[in-house]
Structure 1
Amino acid sequence: MGPRLFGGHAIAQALLAASATEDGARLPNSLHAHFLKAGSSAHPVRYSVTSLSSGRSFAVRRVDGFQDDRLIFTMTVSFHIAETGYEHTSPAPFPLDIDTALAGLEKWRASDDQSASIPIVERLQKRPIEIVPIDPGVLFGSQGREAKTAVWMRMRDPSGADPMMQRALLGYASDMMFLRNALLPHGIRPGSDTIQAASLDHAVWFHETPDFDQWHLFATESPWAGHARGLNRGHFYDLEGRMIASVSQESLMRPRTHDRKDVK
């Protein structure tokens, strides 16, 4: 994932650390994370869990992540028992058709339009989560586009049925292919040396238990950017059309200058 600690990695590990304080009767219904300093992927992160509240239905834990005794990350996690109540959901904004997306990706790979995107695609192939964009030209291109797209995601290897682990995997995946939504209208490619980009904060609301051995559609959009920040929102849907989780993130998207050292 590169020299910097991937935000989704910290989210997943912190979620598992918080769950170690629970007996399994409650599962995470939401998390809210702040990335305070850039972490290194070459060094371990020590997580400290604090109990903020424990009620009959809900519990809240705070998880602080340290590297070399520096606080680099903090996250609160809410746990909730299983309950029944009123239900409604919004439908997926894109067709739930993974076969068409797979065929489109193969066609794009064989085209002349993807030569500049080969490094990005190769990096994606090394990740533990398989990613299939519904429109590779939009996701990997350098032309200004509408700040709205979607990707299909699933684990490359079997991950098991543990509901806590499945939430951790979704938390990991929720920070992938997300920040770039705010870059789409400006024709900026991820990894461009013209911009300093990083996740600032990140929130996930778990509506159902995912099964990340199966395909999930991550439909995303960016309704706003300004003041060197961008707002990203998204929803995960399974193949049956159930909304599995909702995600929101504010990201840094600061134009680089040559007369100063960029810092977060």
Structure 2
Amino acid sequence: MLTLKPVGEGSWIGEPGSGVGKRLFGGHALAQALMAACEAEGSGKLPHSLHANFLAPGMAADPVRYDVTQLGAGRSFSRYRVDAVQGDRQVLTMTVSAQLEEGGLSHADTAPDVGDLASARHALERWQESQGDIERLPVIGDLGLRPIEIIPADAPSLFGDAPHPPSSAVWMRSRDEIGDVPGMSRAQLAYASDILFLRNALLPHGVRPGDSRVQISSLDHAIWFHTTPDFSQWHLLAGHSPWAGNARGLSKGHFFAEDGTLVATVMQENLMRVVDA
């Protein structure tokens, strides 16, 4: 899914995503843009941060060209700009900073207590049974097509339409073999970070993606990688929205490995404009 094909110096083509709507999924573009930066990086450094702006909607059925420009390189850090283009339209621009691993002072937050994975899986199964024909629920059909397996800690609040506090906890892992391709596990995490995340800002207002009353899209997205994840294993994304206003919502979150290790921090701002009736 995230494998790229070189098409000239500093440029790669990414294949379209699979079967989820007509619009290019933002997480797909994030992940492929990150892989393009990893392809350009040849000195053993790995991404420790990315900052992306979504510039225009893309089409899911069309390939994307990723043009990479090196902005600077030193012994420890290298920085890149990645521009994602479909046809003559630029859909995303991203800056990526990569670093050689080194030691030093360290501390980290611990994972929140949201219950274990087995309990979340059992609760999800019970909720699915209560919904009758589960395949008719658009959000479940959508998630089943994703390359990321997802188990929410609280499915009724995340998928229902009643107002809830602006926080969520979701277990995630890749359905695909990751292998030892440099940066691939980071790219899988980047893909996963855009699934369901903006719901944190919508939860208090009783609306969800797909609600005709609200225009919703991602505006920008940032990730800081604290260590190399193994995204073939389960990770918990604990998210929270501290603010929404002026037709925008802000969400922040942390990825934790199943043993509680803090792996990455994510922030995203999204459009959430009320549509006049």
TM-score by length of 2: 0.89
Aligned residues: 258
User: CA shift at 1:16, angstroms?
Assistant: 0.9
Question: In structure 1, the residue corresponding to 2:40 is in which secondary structure?
Answer: coil
Deviations 1:93-125 (A, max 9, x none): 233611011111011111259979822112111
Post-superposition shift, 1:189?
2.1
* In 2, Cα distance between equivalents of 1:32 and 1:13: 14
**Given residue 73 of structure 2, which amino acid in structure 1 is its aligned partner?**
S
User: Within the alignment, does 1:81 sit opposite 2:116 as a pair?
Assistant: no
Secondary structure of 2:34's match?
helix
Q: Percent identity?
A: 53
Q: Does 1:211 align with 2:230?
A: yes
Q: Distance in 2 between matches of 1:236 and 1:107?
A: 25
Is residue 105 from structure 1 mapped to residue 124 from structure 2 by the alignment?
A: yes
Please say if residues 32 and 76 of structure 1, whose CA atoms lie closer than 8 Å, have aligned partners that are also in contact: yes
Asked if residue 157 in structure 1 is aligned to residue 173 in structure 2, the reply is no
Any gaps of 5 or more consecutive residues in structure 2? 1-19
SS of 1:217's equivalent?
strand
List runs of 5+ in structure 1 lacking aligned partners: 259-264
Give the one of 131, 137, 145 matched to 1:126: 145
In 2, are the aligned partners of 1:96 and 1:217 still within 8 Å (CA)? no
Tell me the C-alpha RMSD between the 2 structures: 1.6
- Superposed counterparts of 1:1-264, under 5 Å: 1-95=20-114, 97-112=116-131, 118-258=137-277
Counterpart in the other structure of 2:7: none
- Alpha-carbon distance in 2 for matches of 1:96, 1:111: 21
Which deviations, in whole Å up to 9, do the C-alpha atoms of 1:121-177 show, x marking residues without a partner? 121111111100000011001111000111000112322243410011111111111
* Partners of 1:201 and 1:249 within 8 A in 2: yes
Change (3 A) 1:194 1:116: farther
Provide Cα deviations, 1:18-65, integer angstroms capped at 9, x if missing partner.
Answer: 111112510000000000111111211111111100001000000011
